[in-house]
């Protein structure tokens, strides 16, 4: 028999850790190859971890709600001794065979044994390159660049007013030079500054798993009766720098005085709430509106949608058409496709369109169509349908929701005619498309003005007034409307 170490796999360039949500298998259960062993959650998406091998689950090395680093061993699976040879050792994780151990029968500490086993097998483990090639933090003068900060450290730094530049100058004692909570608190004490609170203690502030790029604090909710919310306490396990344990009270519904309910937010709702508050605190929002006559577009789609579905096996909705118009307008006004870093404006070369997608549980996720300017309308249609379907079935990967440069949200799918959307940081603009309504409108004809029934819709563009002024924002949304209004009714696909 052989024992196979299952590692937490790489889930994207920006993902360094994940939270164990649920174990699908218990010790003693048999696991088929490619069968899901557990469900995990990151700051980006929720996903499953499959087993590359068949065998019996011997040991679970992490508990539910533990926060585990990418590359950490999460389980041990007992496989048939000859299975590896038959598969040419095509596993992605180290395999330790008891029958091949030739070390003297002397006891060694668990740490020494694990270290020796890892070193002995590292050079012969196929697929070990699944782990992220993490760039070591390097000291430039007194700065530690390319260093990962945990959500807790970023949260403390934000509350104490420590900038990213100052954070990069603090030496860390954690693994790979990481800055720990204790390092940061010690730094605050040494510079003669008393932290505003005792971190790591239960308090009335929720401290869920924040996105490493955005860590705002949710706005307080005032009610007639103060209710202590369920707490989530993140603490480091002694003797293990790579694993943190999160102790979180389960979501619950509590009746207060029989007249109100207190419903604890789930993990994704907390992230959404924090991201929205952070965006409003970061960007001065301005919204411009324009009404577009999309009669020709509606009639064209009605004519081609059935034949398109028969030929391509895909339904063509209005969303890819809107995205195509947005991409064209971005090419005309490239300063919409930027982000802000302090006093620097970062102009994006790629046009990656984020599309807000409502989930069946009432939450929201924003998958990204990468390099949308290189896709045809057919390609955009397939990309939209694929991402929307995988989003609703919880099959997105972390890379599917990163690197967006502009966001489109279709509020018309809920019957809304317009909206004032919140910018998806670190982007600087978001377009909301409203419902298409039949309305009487004045049109110009060779015989003069006339009133006719037309298909009209509103476009609402929210933009960051730090870098986008009214002229640019208004011109951009008007250009999108023009591309929709001037749709070629004879266009073929």
Q: For 336-373, what is each residue's pLDDT tens digit?
A: 999 999 899 999 999 999 999 988 888 889 999 999 99
- Count, in order, helices (H) and strands (E) of the chain: 10, 26
Contacts of 71 (CB under 8 A, 6+ apart): 7, 8, 10, 131, 132
Annotation marks residue 266 as catalytic = no
One DSSP character per residue, 49-110 reads EE-SS-EEEEEE-S-TTEEEETT-EEEEEEE-TTHHHHTTT--SS-EEEGGG--S-S----H
**What pLDDT is recorded for position 41?**
80
User: pLDDT at position 204, please?
Assistant: 36
* Sequence-distant (≥ 6) Cβ neighbours of residue 353 within 8 angstroms: 323, 326, 327, 368, 369, 372, 404, 405, 406, 407, 408
Task: Using the Cα atoms of residue 303, residue 306, residue 309 and residue 310 in order, give the sign of their dihedral.
Answer: negative
Q: Is the pLDDT of residue 235 over 60?
A: no
Q: What would you report as the CA-atom Rg of the chain, rounded to the nearest whole angstrom?
A: 27
Residue 49's DSSP bridge partners are: 38
Closest C-alpha to 356, from 345, 348, 368, 347: 368
Alpha-carbon span 408 to 386, nearest angstrom? 16
Number of C-beta neighbours around residue 216 at 10 A: 20
Among 332, 350, 389, 469, the active-site one is: 469
Looking at 44-48, 90-94, 384-388, which range is the least confident one? 90-94
Contacts of 258 (CB under 8 A, 6+ apart): none
Which candidate in 121, 285, 455, 465 is catalytic?
A: 465
pLDDT category, 132, cuts 50, 70, 90?
Answer: very low
d(CA 46, CA 50): 13
Q: Say if residue 232's pLDDT is above 50.
A: no
Res 377: pLDDT: 95
b/e per residue, 448-485, with b = 16+ CB within 10 A? eeeeeebbbbbbbbbbbeebbeeebbbebbebbbebbe
pTM for this structure? 0.58
Active site residue 465: yes
């Amino acid at each position: 028999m052989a024992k196979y170490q299952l590692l937490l796999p790489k889930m994207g360039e920006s993902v360094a850790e994940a939270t164990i949500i649920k174990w699908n298998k218990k010790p003693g259960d048999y696991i088929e190859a490619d069968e899901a062993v557990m469900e995990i959650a990151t700051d980006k998406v929720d996903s499953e971890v499959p087993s590359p091998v068949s065998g019996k689950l011997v040991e679970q090395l992490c508990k539910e709600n533990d926060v585990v680093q990418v590359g950490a061993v999460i389980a041990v699976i007992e496989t048939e001794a000859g299975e590896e040879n038959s598969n040419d050792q095509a596993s992605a994780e180290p395999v330790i065979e008891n029958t091949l151990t030739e070390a003297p029968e002397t006891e060694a500490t668990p740490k020494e044994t694990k270290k020796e086993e890892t070193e002995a097998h590292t050079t012969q483990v196929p697929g070990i390159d699944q782990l992220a090639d993490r760039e070591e933090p390097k000291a430039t003068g007194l700065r530690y660049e390319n260093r990962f900060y945990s959500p807790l450290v970023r949260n403390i730094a934000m509350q104490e007013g420590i900038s990213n530049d100052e954070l990069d100058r603090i030496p860390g004692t954690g693994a790979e030079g990481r800055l720990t909570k204790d390092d940061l608190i010690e730094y605050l004490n040494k510079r003669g500054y008393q932290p505003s609170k005792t971190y790591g203690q239960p308090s009335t502030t929720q401290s869920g798993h924040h996105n490493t790029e955005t860590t705002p604090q949710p706005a307080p909710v005032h009610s007639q009766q103060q209710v202590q919310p369920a707490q989530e306490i993140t603490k480091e396990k002694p003797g293990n720098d790579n694993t943190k344990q999160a102790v979180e009270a389960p979501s619950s519904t509590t009746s207060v005085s029989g007249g109100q309910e207190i419903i604890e937010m789930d993990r994704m709702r907390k992230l959404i709430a924090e991201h929205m508050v952070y965006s409003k605190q970061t960007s001065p929002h301005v919204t411009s509106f324009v009404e577009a006559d999309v009669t020709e577009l509606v009639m064209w789609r009605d004519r081609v949608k059935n034949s398109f579905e028969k030929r391509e096996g895909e339904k063509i909705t209005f969303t890819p058409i809107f995205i195509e118009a947005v991409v064209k307008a971005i090419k005309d006004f490239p300063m919409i496709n930027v982000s802000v870093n302090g006093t620097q404006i970062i102009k994006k070369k790629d046009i990656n369109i984020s599309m807000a997608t409502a989930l069946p549980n009432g939450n929201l996720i924003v998958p990204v169509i990468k390099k949308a300017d290189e896709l045809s309308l057919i390609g955009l249609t397939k990309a939209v349908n694929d991402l929307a379907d995988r989003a609703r079935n919880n099959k997105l990967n972390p890379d599917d929701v990163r690197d967006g440069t502009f966001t489109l949200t279709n509020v018309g799918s809920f019957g809304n005619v317009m909206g004032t959307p919140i910018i998806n940081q670190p982007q600087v603009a978001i377009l909301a498309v409203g419902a298409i309504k039949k309305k009487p409108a004045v049109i110009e004809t060779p015989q003069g003005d006339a009133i006719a029934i037309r298909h009209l819709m509103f476009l609402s563009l929210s933009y960051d007034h730090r870098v986008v002024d009214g002229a640019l924002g208004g011109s951009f949304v008007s250009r999108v409307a023009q591309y929709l209004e001037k749709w070629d009714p004879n266009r073929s696909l």
